[in-house]
Amino acid sequence: MSMNENGKSASPVTLASIREMKARGEKFTCLTAYDATFARIFDAAGVEVLLVGDSLGMVIQGRETTLPVTLDEMIYHTACVSRARKRALIMADMPFMSDARPHEALRNAARLMAEGGAHMVKIEGGAVMAETIQRLDARGIPVCAHLGLLPQSVHKIGGYRVQGRDGPSARRILEDAATLTAAGADMLLLECVPATLADEIVASVKVPVIGIGASAACDAQVLVCYDMLGLTPGPRPRFCENFLAGRDTIQAAVQDYVRAVKTGRFPASEHLYT
């Protein structure tokens, strides 16, 4: 049994407890984590889900995209986070093309869990990933399906752009959400979609929905920790807020992020898309 920031015992976060939070209408929080030090801080501050994102390719490795990140690198960073985790659920990204075929996805997801210590994997892509999700679900591997802006498809979609603004693309994302949850996806992550579309998806599915630049109606919010702490150079993404500004410690910034999500203060209208 671990202790939370108030010194009280806190049970480990599981997929079942996340579902219970959704049923109660209680928001949960998610942050990316790539190493033991940040993972320990975020876990102690009450963040329920630590996402070991392939965004590490950009914020840790200095690459232009997430595409060069390898499975071995994802396992390494997931294991670093796993060693520090006391309470949070650990979600790990399936890197580019590690899930190209269902049997490969099964083998690679198993490595992320067995070697890295992940409790859940995240897969980018729409209905084309349904067979893969079915395969993982049948073997007891929890999956979060990532829809909307797909960083691994950045060259196909022409950059980091809001998705689902026109009728056909919005319908496709809505249909993908239905298809992937029917296939066994345990969560959805919606990135950079109009708030009205995200609202419709949240209302139409039974699984917890994590948002980033999506809607305040999502069951949870996620940010890249370097963005949330104001460490990323250049303009800050619209969907982000620098929670370290005006605060003395990273711990205080993360605690404020958790409070802001749970009370509904974040995201505000200025963080969302139309």
**Residues annotated catalytic, as ranges:** 191
Contacts 24+ apart (CB under 8 A), 73-77: 74/98, 74/112, 74/116, 75/111, 75/112, 75/115, 75/116, 76/116, 77/34, 77/35, 77/52, 77/116
**Coil/strand/helix, residue 28:** strand
CA-CA distance, 219 to 201, in Å (whole number)?
11
Single-letter code of the amino acid located at 186: D
Query: Residue 236 carries which side chain, given as an amino acid letter?
Result: R
Find the angle CA(52)-CA(233)-CA(214) to the nearest 5 degrees: 55
For residue 259, the Cα-to-chain-centroid distance in whole angstroms is 18
Reduce the DSSP state of residue 89 to 3 states and report it.
strand
Query: Which structure tokens are listed for 164?
Result: 């689902």
